[in-house]
Structures are given as structure tokens and as C-alpha cells.
Amino acid sequence: MAASPKIGSIEATVAWRAAERAAGRTVVLTNGCFDVLHRGHVDLLREAKRQGDRLVVAANDDESIRRLKGPGRPLVLQEDRAELLAALEMVDRVVLFTDDTPAGVIDALLPDVLVKGADYALEEIVGRDTVEGAGGRVYRVTLTSGRSTRELIRTVLERYPSVGSARTEEENR
């Protein structure tokens, strides 16, 4: 099955962004791992889309997630995560990135609005200086309480403890 046309390389997304800018549309960028898509992600993406005309989601690739979250992650492979994100109506473009931060994507795209969860202090947001320096703005979204990948994983392991113990046995082999 062919990949969604919404998924592109950074180079293709930069060209797409230039066309959107030329058409006078506001481009919003948010980023994250989006390992196990859940309600908190959807709420964040909906609010991000409300900040402009087009929404680009920069998702960490598998290697960067392993470096950031540990060897047990991601649970969902990058191609599948990109397809799931692209299937959401509020998402206009998806780009995977390999660095630990989205700084390179932000520098290349220069979004009009950069959106992050309010769990990040303004001064901690990677790319803030770049976006604000180019005349854009940063918007922080209040996260949906109790809706996170970590909480979802914890719930699965609590409800299905044999899954956790079976995995531990496999890892010990």
C-alpha cells in the first residue's frame, strides 16, 4: 500500500511550506514521538490546528525515540505512526526527523506558529528563538489530564500483568 501523500521528506515539506506561505496561509508546527496515538495527542493536534491554516507534525523517527525513551520504545514503528498521523483530518503534513530535538525541522520550515504542550516552560521550548526571531509565535497547549503514552502503557501492564512478566522472561533469554 502506498504511503499517504501527506507524508514527506524535510525537503518536500520545505517546498510545500513555501507554497503555503506564498498563498498567504499560516503554517503551524508541532512535534513529538506519537508512539501510541491516544486522546491526549488528538486534543493537542486539534488545538494546534486551531492556531493556523495548515498543521505540520514532525514526528521522531524510531532511532531518536530509542535514544530518548529507552530500548523498549517505540511500540509503533515510524512508518505506522506517520500513517496514523496523516490519517487525522487536522493534520496536513507529516515529516519524520532523526535528531533528538526538532531544531533542524524548525530551522528549515520556519513555521508561523510553534505548538508544544504546556508541560514545557516557554524557555524550554526548542525552536522558540528561531520562530519568534522570524516573526512567529509559540503557543502552549494545556494537556489532557491522564492521557499520555506512559499512562497508557502503565494501564496495559496493570490490567494484563502476564504480558509484563512474559516480556520480562523473553528479555532475559
| Cα 157 to Cα 11: distance, rounded to the nearest angstrom | 40
- Domains of the chain and CATH, by start: 10-144 (3.40.50.620)
- Residues 49-103 pLDDT 10s: 999 999 999 999 999 999 998 988 898 999 999 999 999 999 999 999 999 999 9
Higher pLDDT, 168 or 145: 145
Which pLDDT value is given to residue 53? 98
Buried b or exposed e, range 84-105, using 16+ CB within 10 angstroms: bbbebebbbbbbbbeeeebeeb
- Can you tell me the mean pLDDT for 15-38? 95
What is the pLDDT at residue 155?
63
Contact 41, 34 (CB under 8 A): yes
